[in-house]
Structure formats: C-alpha cells, structure tokens
C-alpha cells in the first residue's frame, strides 16, 4: 500500500516554514507555529518530514540557499560590471535594517546556528558556503581575465575572502548595528578587489 497522497506543495510549505524560522530562529520556532504557517496537520508533517523540525529546518536552509545562490549568480552574470555588483551587494549589507531575503541574512544566521548541531549538518552548511564561494570565484576569474581587476591574487582565495566576509558580516550585525561602522568594515575588506 502506497499510503495517502500528499495534498500540499512541499516546496511552498517549506517557504512558509522559512518565514517562521526567519522571524523566530530554529530553537524558538514552535511546532504549532510551523504547522499553522505551513497549513498542514501533524500527520502530514511527519509523513513529509520524518526527521521532524530538524529535517524541516535543513530543507528550509537548502531551499533558501539554492534560491539565493541562483539569484546572486544570475544577477552577477547579467551585470555589466561584475566586481562593482559584488561591491554593492556587500555595501548594501551595512544598510539593511532587518533580515532581508535578498541579502541572505537568514542563510548567514542559520549557518551559524546549524553548524554546531552535528557533523552531518556541519557538512551541509560547508557545502552551502562553497556554493557561494564558487559564484564569487567565477566572477573574479572573469574580471581578472578581462583586465577589470588588477589584483592577481588567486581567485580561489579572493572568493573565500568574500565568503568569509559575507558570513562574518551576518555575525557582526548581531552585535553592531551602526551602518557607518559596518560600511567602513566592508569597504576595508573590499579593497582586496582593486
């Protein structure tokens, strides 16, 4: 017997759960809040997410990361000046008032929360960061080949520097909310892209 068919869109349900996780965080998001947002009952939830809340959270992070990385990759590809796009992407992080979807802070915050839960989750979070690093590396390599970037530093290392900056800014934003301070910090780090 195959069981009952699903009567909800899992991807849409995960998106709705993501909003709860963004607002509350993993630890404080309750099962009732998640189920209410997703519009499903406990039975359907546990059929779709056998690992419970943790599996849902991991799926939320993966789905968010895939969408975020796809959007960033496309935006960089479509920009006339890819390095300037990257600069502006980072500088906008300084002015964000909240956890904005376009800036990926949900992902940055989640990576910090998830990475210490267990080794499997740590491996998943590392892969998500590597995906972002690859996007930066491709743009840097292209800019170096086109002469739009003077530095001849290894694109791999430069891309990891940017990935580390992106990750670090999301952690620093929790302690320092001054846009001026964050902008100065970001500008200092971006001097490597000259």
**pLDDT tens digits along 126-167:** 788 899 999 999 999 999 999 999 999 999 999 999 999 988
Domain extent, residue 129, equals 57-193
Residue 178 lies in a domain: yes
- For 24, the token pair is 């509350």
Q: What is the pLDDT of residues 41-53, one digit of tens each?
A: 998 898 899 999 9
Structurally, the chain folds into a number of domains equal to 1
What is the Cα–Cα distance from 103 to 19, expressed in whole angstroms?
Answer: 15
Residue 7 lies in a domain: no
Residue 83 lies in a domain: yes
CATH code: domain of residue 114: 1.10.357.10
Residue 124 lies in a domain: yes
Residue 38 lies in a domain: no
Cα–Cα distances (Å) from 83 to 61, 128, 155, in that order, read 27, 21, 12
Confidence band for 95, pLDDT divided at 50, 70 and 90: confident
What is the Cα–Cα distance from 89 to 102, expressed in whole angstroms?
Answer: 9
What is the Cα–Cα distance from 106 to 19, expressed in whole angstroms?
Answer: 9
pLDDT, residue 101, reads 46
- Asked if 64 contacts 23 with a C-beta cutoff of 8 angstroms, the reply is no
DSSP code of 26? T
For tokens 């971006």, the residue is: 190
Residue 49 lies in a domain: no
Residue 107 lies in a domain: yes
Cα–Cα distances (Å) from 127 to 3, 52, 60, 130, in that order, read 34, 22, 15, 5
Quickly count: other Cβ atoms within 10 Å of residue 86's Cβ.
Answer: 24
- For 192, the token pair is 């490597």
- For 86, the token pair is 């990257």
pTM above 0.85, yes or no: no
Residue 29 lies in a domain: no
96 vs 65 pLDDT, higher one: 65
pLDDT, residue 1, reads 41
């Amino acid at each position: 017997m195959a069981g009952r068919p699903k009567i909800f869109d899992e991807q849409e349900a995960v998106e709705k759960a993501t909003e709860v996780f963004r607002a509350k965080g993993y630890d404080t998001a309750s099962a009732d809040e998640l189920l209410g947002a997703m519009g499903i009952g406990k039975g359907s939830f546990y059929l779709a997410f056998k690992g419970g809340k943790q599996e849902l959270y991991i799926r939320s992070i993966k789905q968010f990361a895939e969408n975020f990385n796809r959007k960033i990759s496309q935006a960089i590809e479509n920009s006339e000046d890819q390095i300037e796009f990257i600069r502006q992407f980072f500088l906008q992080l300084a002015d964000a008032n909240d956890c904005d979807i376009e800036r990926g802070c949900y992902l940055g915050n989640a990576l910090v929360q998830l990475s210490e839960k267990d080794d499997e989750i740590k491996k998943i979070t590392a892969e998500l960061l590597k995906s972002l690093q690859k996007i930066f590396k491709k743009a840097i390599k292209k800019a170096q080949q086109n002469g739009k970037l003077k530095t001849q530093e290894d694109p791999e290392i430069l891309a990891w520097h940017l990935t580390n900056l992106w990750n670090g800014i999301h952690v620093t934003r929790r302690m320092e909310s001054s846009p001026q301070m964050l902008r100065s910090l970001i500008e200092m780090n971006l001097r490597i892209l000259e």
